[in-house]
């Protein structure tokens, strides 16, 4: 059970909720939420014009709303903003969005009633998952459009998934035994002003990227040995004189995984002076991506415990600001996409070397009876396709801005696009690294001596799950199986049992 208090939520906890863990409201939040709501009631009684409470929205902020229409204003806001298009977001992303929005409301700066937060958490725990189209947010006044689709279900509108079936929001809520929520002043606005879509996507993309980072190093170690690379480029002395944290950590991991390698020992006296960059520069390239992911983590850790709606309610009144603007996330998630694209990029170059007999000294395309069999020739085509797609996706969304709301919102972040692209890049990179594992394992099969401790552990696990390609067969299931082993942490776990925790 994950506790939400608006202050201490972790990325691991968000990910756990996304994957099905339940949440609860921390008792410490109750006074803050009630105090914030009381401040809104005070503003209403004073009849001062306050944005989004008794005024219109965006360019219509100068329109005063009559007290008798204030509640309808909030419902109208949700209905009018729910104009998303495209495929539905994955359920895990929506669950993360719900937890993140509830956590933001817990901070006590949104002016909502306690019942609203409780209803949102009840939906989460009963697994009423709103159907949210993935397109429509420009990431400026937060993720207005997708959050409006989330909010629709609270008021028994829209669509939702419940017990594996898609149905109307009202039907889903009724089936789960949750009463329709009647929005009061400020509450509709508090539900949709926030960065929770891009943040949810970012958390999931980052968690998967961090696991990918480990697998990329394992694949790189296997390829290094299969290609008879030297381990000397991983010596600590080299990296201490250029002390980037990621570079030092990756070099240490590579050194540990290749200890005891009979393959490396067998060619220490060969005439080759140095390896290609895709092997020699593994610590510098993957290490740079590791440092980039650390930066993205720091941004997300701040964002998931932030108040991101507008106006914010303080002791001295309601203040309009710009905490909803997605620029911090947009930049970080573009960086995440670029960093992960580079992991796949260098991985594909090692795949290309493995299947090229002129560079590897191994059978062409790692095939038994080449000619009759094509071996792993086309797996490199697939990797090349994915890497090329990533190059297009890695173009930063955050450098674009199209004004909205009659130029009131004249600079937008496009953070939701950065987030969606980042997750797709991670998915593509997972498949590229899975292909490298497939090729590297096949290449190691041709060596008569044992690999290093960590490399050997990975090779043995792969062979327990995916057979050597002795004659041509459909390789797609093999790639999928290896990707599952990677994403479930099985490959990294097998390696770490032999060499200790990877840094």
Active site residues: 51
Q: Where are the alpha helices (DSSP H) in 282-326?
A: 282-303
Enter the tokens of residue 73: 């204003």
In the 8-state DSSP scheme, what is residue 107?
Answer: T
Angstrom CA distances, 3 to 31, 35, 203, 442, 463, stand at 16, 20, 18, 46, 41
Q: Give the chain's length.
A: 503
Q: Per residue in 289-311, is it b (16+ CB within 10 Å) or e — as a string?
A: bbbbbeebbebbeebbbbbbbbb
CA–CA distance, 27 with 118 (Å, rounded to integer): 12
Helix (H) or strand (E) holding 134: strand 133-135
CB burial of residue 323 (10 Å; 0-12, 13-18, 19+):
middle
Helix (H) or strand (E) holding 398: none
CA–CA distance, 290 with 23 (Å, rounded to integer): 30
How many Å separate Cα 95 from the centre of its chain? 14
With a CB cutoff of 8 Å and minimum separation 6, the contacts of 428 are 344, 386, 387, 389, 390, 393
73: left (phi over 0), alpha (psi -120 to 50) or beta: alpha
DSSP SS3 for 210: helix
CB burial of residue 402 (10 Å; 0-12, 13-18, 19+):
exposed
CA–CA distance, 412 with 325 (Å, rounded to integer): 7
CA–CA distance, 239 with 274 (Å, rounded to integer): 17
With a CB cutoff of 8 Å and minimum separation 6, the contacts of 448 are none
Q: What is the CA radius of gyration of the chain?
A: 26
* Contact yes or no for 184/71 (Cβ under 8 A): yes
DSSP SS3 for 183: coil
Least Cα distance to 71 among 156, 155, 158, 160 occurs for 155
Enter the tokens of residue 1: 């059970």
* Contact yes or no for 202/336 (Cβ under 8 A): yes
């Amino acid at each position: 059970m994950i506790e939400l208090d608006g202050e201490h939520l972790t990325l691991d906890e968000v990910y756990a909720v996304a994957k099905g863990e339940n949440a609860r409201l921390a008792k410490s939040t109750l006074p803050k939420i009630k105090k914030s709501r009381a401040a809104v009631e005070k503003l209403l009684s004073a009849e001062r014009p306050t944005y989004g409470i008794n005024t219109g929205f965006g360019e219509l902020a100068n329109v005063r709303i009559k007290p008798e229409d204030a509640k309808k204003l909030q419902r109208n806001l949700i209905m009018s903003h729910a104009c998303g298009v495209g495929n539905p977001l994955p359920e895990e992303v929506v669950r993360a969005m719900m937890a993140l929005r509830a956590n933001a409301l817990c901070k006590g700066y949104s002016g909502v009633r306690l019942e609203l937060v409780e209803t949102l958490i009840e939906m989460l725990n009963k697994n009423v998952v709103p159907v949210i189209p993935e397109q429509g947010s420009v990431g400026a006044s937060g993720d207005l459009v997708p959050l409006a689709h989330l909010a629709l279900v609270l008021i028994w509108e829209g669509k939702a998934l419940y017990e594996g079936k898609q149905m109307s929001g009202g039907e889903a809520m009724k089936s789960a035994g949750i009463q329709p929520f009647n929005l009061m002043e400020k509450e509709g606005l508090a539900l949709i002003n926030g960065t929770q879509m891009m943040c949810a996507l970012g958390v999931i993309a980052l968690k998967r990227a961090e696991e990918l980072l480990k697998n990329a190093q394992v694949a790189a170690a296997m390829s290094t040995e299969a290609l008879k690379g030297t381990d000397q480029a991983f010596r600590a002395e080299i990296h201490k004189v250029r002390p980037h944290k990621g570079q030092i950590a990756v070099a240490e991991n590579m050194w540990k995984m290749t200890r005891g390698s009979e393959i490396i020992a067998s060619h220490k006296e060969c005439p080759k002076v140095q390896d290609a960059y895709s092997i020699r520069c593994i610590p510098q390239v993957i290490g740079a991506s590791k440092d980039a992911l650390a930066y993205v983590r720091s941004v997300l850790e701040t964002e998931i415990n932030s108040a991101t709606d507008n106006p914010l309610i303080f002791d001295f009144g309601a203040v309009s600001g710009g905490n909803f603007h997605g620029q911090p996330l947009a930049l970080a998630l573009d960086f995440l996409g670029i960093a992960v694209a580079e992991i796949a990029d260098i991985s594909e170059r090692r795949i290309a070397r493995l299947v090229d007999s002129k560079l590897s000294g191994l059978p062409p395309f790692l095939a038994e009876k080449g000619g009759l069999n094509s071996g792993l020739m086309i797996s490199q085509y697939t990797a090349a396709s994915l890497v090329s797609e990533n190059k297009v996706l890695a173009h930063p969304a955050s450098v674009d801005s199209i004004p909205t709301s009659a130029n009131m919102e004249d600079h937008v972040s496009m953070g939701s696009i950065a987030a969606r692209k980042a997750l797709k890049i991670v998915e593509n990179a997972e498949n590229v690294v899975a292909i490298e594992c497939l090729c590297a394992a096949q290449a190691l099969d041709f060596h008569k001596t044992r690999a290093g401790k960590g490399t050997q552990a990975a090779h043995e696990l792969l062979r327990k799950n995916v057979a050597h390609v002795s004659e041509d067969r459909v390789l797609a299931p093999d790639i999928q199986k290896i990707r599952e082993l990677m994403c479930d942490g099985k490959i990294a776990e097998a390696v770490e049992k032999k060499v200790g925790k990877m840094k």
